Amino acid sequence: MAASRTTRTSSKPSSSALAEPVQRLRGVGADSAKLLDRLGIHTVEDLLWHLPSRYEDYSKVVPLGSLRPEAEQTVVATVGHIATIPGRRGPPRTEIELRDESGVPSRHKAVWFGNAFIRQRVQEGQTVRISGKPKWFGHGLSFTNPTLEPADREAVQTARIVPVYRLTEGLKEGYLRRWLLSLVTSQRLALVADPLPPDVRDRQGLPPIADALRQVHFPEAPQELFRARRRLAFDELFILQLATAQRRSRWVAEARARTLAVTDAELDAWIAELPFALTGAQRRSLAQIRGDLARAVPMSRLLEGDVGSGKTVVAALAMRIAFRCGMQSALMAPTELLADQHYATLEALFARGGPKVARLSSSTSAGERERILERLERGELDAVVGTHALIQEGVSFPRLALAVIDEQHRFGVEQRATLRQKGTYPHVLLTTATPIPQTLWQTLNRDLDVSVLDEMPAGRREIRTEVRTPEALPRAWPWVAERVRSGEQAFVVCPRIDPADEESDTLFEKSWQPSAVATFDELRSGALSGVRVGLVHGRMPQKERDAVMTRFRDRELDVLVATTVIEVGIDIPHATVMVVLGAERFGLAQLHQLRGRVGRRAEQKAFCVLVSPKTDSDRLRAMSERVEKDATERLLNGFELAERDLQIRGPGQFLGQEQSGIRDQLRLVDLTDIDPRLLDDAAREADKIVAVDPELERTEHRGLRQAVDALWERYAFV
């Protein structure tokens, strides 16, 4: 990944001394400036905000005779005999005999491999500081490739907590440290604008920004480093919380949605018509949505739940509320097949006096599309289900009051915004079957309310999940064929499309590279030769892909070999087997989504077989891990797996491409382990400021406004 410049929380115009080219610093020549340019460092201020990625604690200085093995420490020693020893197979090594300050030789030494320049840097009899982690070698302790500095120079890389920075090829860390030490001890540091109002800083007990930057680069003690990092982490969270609080404040102040309210008796009657009982989670989420719809502030809510948890039914009841109030609703799905499934579900649920529904997609004929648009314009249709075709020019909703966006992460920010604009401040309900850890929503989407379906409908069987090595496949395929012959269907999922895919070759180990195309060919001519096998992947044209999925749905195919294009897909009631090849290549959220594609009928057992040479993978263990709850054992649910995935993989998968910039913005905040107290403090302070100054127009808030504006310019939020 290309290096990128660390983003600052303040965009206040820099003092001219900070805005100077980095070459104005002593010791930074033209060649060094070119290397820094690769890291996005162009100015003095850029260099100042190039923060350490970690630290080495060499602050413990011990006498040579008190060295301890396997511990980071520093010794002050006299250089004894220097020898260069040729390597038998590898590079030569330079060994320095270490003597105590009185000149008495010891059994300890320092060794550098391939670094012949050490001979030019030190002389016998010179007193030096050496930092590192020594190990036993023969009868003494040996430092391997340690850090060395003359004892008569200021400690920059030894005898202190030493910063470790992101580098680029050709840039020596020692030079970078010396440049930064010179910078943070110069008068330039006082020119850095502090974005935090003094009262916020005082309430939170935070140091000034200049002190924080000095200590984060070259901490005097662990407690000072903690205070400095806490200050900069607070700034990151605070600006982010200000941005979302300000957006919510504007949304509440400016928007006037149509209030949609029905009586308890009406809602109870609709629920009684359903062919199944709602779960407690569905009732709770419906109550939250109903409360939102009854307000003049447009709803902005995410309905989050596992595959099969009943999100569509909750959305349908919300659409029925809109219909009862004389308004229209729209449901937008990412694929035509999913739109077809939702359309069929809504038609069945609305059969007894509910909204009149139509389906609109890119495959809708021109004549049918014109008829639907005319009926929609005249108000004869109460609800429309479709794909992105719903947001195309010419589609008009005269009374749109509710927009439901299914699998919302599959649509871009612009597409979602366009659907919002089809009505006058419509209520918006987003849905997703990818459970997102609560910490991420708290941090990134405080202006989006969340309803959670953490309960599955009664009768849904647990999917038996097993982890197997590739060597087990010759026994697994006959078992798959046997289940297919009994009337069931199976998925076989591969992590890549084609074995000749050069991009994939850089991502996958050479040992085992399962691909959909090769697996399809092997199965239909080998182990599953008597079975109807289909193939679907992301490079197929959408119409061809939908045609294959339709054949599978209609039971014209028995086994479907696929990539993750089926992760969000249609309901296949007779699918009972999910075989995932190269399972270690997928995240936990993906594996859980794939597993949820089978076992949709309560009367049938379902199986998920995760095939991988790495059976000890943390992800695979989590997929088959069982926990005890209410005196029974069960697999981890989607939300528990999401939290585990966040710990294993970090936030990248959950944030996705649209919000990857936010991940870069949070330079010191670890989204996998946010301190809830710091997050709460930042949110509380942001709310206080927005409550009295929503547009951040006061003089003391101008720096904050510039920082928030800069954040909006860089990144798009959901």
DSSP, residue by residue, 274-302: SSSPPPHHHHHHHHHHHHHHTSSSPPEEE
Residue 614 clears pLDDT 80, i.e. is over it: yes
Question: Which two structure tokens, joined as six digits, stand for 351?
Answer: 């059969």
Strands 626-629 and 632-635, by their bridges, are antiparallel
Mean pLDDT in the chain? 85
The pLDDT value recorded for residue 416 is: 58
Question: Which two structure tokens, joined as six digits, stand for 515?
Answer: 């691909």
The pLDDT value recorded for residue 397 is: 85
> Rounded CA gap, 54 and 114, in Å?
26
The pLDDT value recorded for residue 509 is: 43
Given a contact cutoff of 8 angstroms between Cβ atoms, the answer to whether 329 and 299 are in contact is no
Split at pLDDT 50, 70, 90, the class of 2 is: very low
Residue 392 clears pLDDT 50, i.e. is over it: yes
The pLDDT value recorded for residue 354 is: 86
Buried b (16+ CB within 10 A) or exposed e, 358-375: bbbbebbeeeebeebbee
Residue 3 clears pLDDT 50, i.e. is over it: no
**Global confidence as pTM:** 0.71
Split at pLDDT 50, 70, 90, the class of 566 is: confident
Which range, of 258-262, 359-363, 535-539, averages the lowest pLDDT?
Answer: 359-363
In this predicted model, which residue has the larger pLDDT, 466 or 587?
466
CATH of domain 56-161: 2.40.50.140
Give 180's contacts (C-beta < 8 A, 6+ positions apart): 47, 48, 50, 163, 217, 218
- In 3D, which of 612, 634, 639 has the Cα closest to residue 624? 634
The pLDDT value recorded for residue 439 is: 61
Residue 370 clears pLDDT 80, i.e. is over it: yes
Where does residue 240 rank: exposed (0-12), middle (13-18), buried (19+ CB within 10 A)?
buried
> Rounded CA gap, 107 and 122, in Å?
19
The pLDDT value recorded for residue 364 is: 86
Given a contact cutoff of 8 angstroms between Cβ atoms, the answer to whether 5 and 703 are in contact is no
The pLDDT value recorded for residue 506 is: 40
> Rounded CA gap, 292 and 378, in Å?
28
CATH of domain 464-636: 3.40.50.300
Question: Which two structure tokens, joined as six digits, stand for 127?
Answer: 């007193």
- Dmax over CA atoms of the chain, in Å, equals 100
Tell me the mean pLDDT in the region 547-561.
93
The pLDDT value recorded for residue 335 is: 82
Residue 220 clears pLDDT 90, i.e. is over it: yes
Residue 503 clears pLDDT 50, i.e. is over it: no
The model's pLDDT over 615-634, given as tens digits with 9 standing for 90+, comes to 888 888 888 877 666 556 66
The pLDDT value recorded for residue 14 is: 47
Which range, of 126-140, 286-300, 320-334, 563-577, averages the lowest pLDDT?
Answer: 563-577
CATH of 264-294+310-432, one of 3.40.630.30, 3.40.50.300, 2.130.10.10, 3.10.310.30: 3.40.50.300
> Rounded CA gap, 561 and 540, in Å?
13
Tell me the mean pLDDT in the region 631-655.
68
What percentage of residues in the chain have a pLDDT greater than 90?
50
Query: Virtual CA dihedral for 200, 204, 209, 211, nearest 10 degrees?
Result: 140
Split at pLDDT 50, 70, 90, the class of 675 is: confident
Which range, of 98-112, 340-354, 392-406, 646-660, averages the lowest pLDDT?
Answer: 646-660
The pLDDT value recorded for residue 412 is: 52
> Can 264-294+310-432 and 464-636 be said to share one CATH topology?
yes
> Rounded CA gap, 716 and 662, in Å?
9
Q: CA–CA distance from 486 to each of 479, 490, 575, 576, 602 (Å)?
A: 11, 12, 12, 11, 17
The pLDDT value recorded for residue 71 is: 92
Residue 177 clears pLDDT 60, i.e. is over it: yes
Residue 717 clears pLDDT 70, i.e. is over it: no
The model's pLDDT over 417-445, given as tens digits with 9 standing for 90+, comes to 666 667 678 898 988 877 666 666 656 66
Question: Which two structure tokens, joined as six digits, stand for 509?
Answer: 């180990």
The pLDDT value recorded for residue 103 is: 76
Split at pLDDT 50, 70, 90, the class of 10 is: very low
How are the residues of the chain apportioned to helix, strand and coil, as percentages rounded to the nearest 5?
40, 20, 40
Q: CA–CA distance from 66 to each of 71, 73, 99, 150 (Å)?
A: 12, 10, 13, 21
Listed by start position, the domains of the chain span 1-53+165-193, 56-161, 264-294+310-432, 464-636
In this predicted model, which residue has the larger pLDDT, 9 or 307?
307
Which range, of 206-210, 556-560, 679-683, averages the lowest pLDDT?
Answer: 679-683
> Rounded CA gap, 679 and 177, in Å?
31
Given a contact cutoff of 8 angstroms between Cβ atoms, the answer to whether 201 and 187 are in contact is no
Q: What is the DSSP letter of 584?
A: G
Alpha helices in 450-541 (DSSP H): 473-485, 502-505, 516-525
What percentage of residues in the chain have a pLDDT greater than 70?
86
Residue 524 clears pLDDT 50, i.e. is over it: yes
The model's pLDDT over 157-172, given as tens digits with 9 standing for 90+, comes to 999 999 999 999 999 9
Split at pLDDT 50, 70, 90, the class of 5 is: very low
Q: How many residues does the chain have?
A: 718
Alpha helices in 70-197 (DSSP H): 118-121, 173-184
The pLDDT value recorded for residue 124 is: 92
Element (H, E) at 464: strand 464-468
The pLDDT value recorded for residue 639 is: 73
> Rounded CA gap, 376 and 396, in Å?
7
Among positive and negative, which fits the CA dihedral 555, 558, 561, 566?
positive
The model's pLDDT over 88-131, given as tens digits with 9 standing for 90+, comes to 777 888 999 999 877 777 889 999 987 767 888 899 999 999 99
The pLDDT value recorded for residue 579 is: 96
